[in-house]
Structure 1
Amino acid sequence: MTVYMPLHDEIQRFGLELYAVGRAPRLPVLSVETSLFDRIRVAQAVDEQLSKWRHRADERDSGLYSVVDGIVRFRGRLWVPAGIKRDIARFVSECLTCQQVKAEHQRPAGLLKPLPIPKWKWDNITMDFVVGLPRTVRGSNSIWVIVDHLTKSAHFLPVGRISL
Structure 2
Amino acid sequence: LLLQFLQAAFEALKTLLMSPPVLRIANPEWPFEVITDASDIAIRAVLMQDFGNGLQPITYESRKMQSAEHNYPVHDKEMLAIVHAFKIWRCYLTGADVTVRTDDKSLQYLRAQPNLNPRQIRWLDYLESNFTYSSRTKRAPTILPMPSPDRLPNSQHGTDRIWVPSYRLLRELLIQEVHDSNLSGHFGVDETLKALQRFYYLPDMVTDVQRYVAACPICQRMKSSHQRPTGLLQPFEPPQRPWQHVTMDFVTGLPALSSGNDAVLAVVHRLTKMEHFAPCRTTIIAEETARLFISTVVHLYGIPAAIISDRDTKFTSKFWQDTWARYGTRLQFSSTYHPQTDGQTERTNQTMEQLIRTNCPDRNKWEDVLPMLEFSYNNAPSATTNHSPFYLNYGMDPIVPISTNVESQ
TM-score (norm 2): 0.12
Which is helix-richer, 1 or 2?
Answer: 2
TM-score (norm 1): 0.29
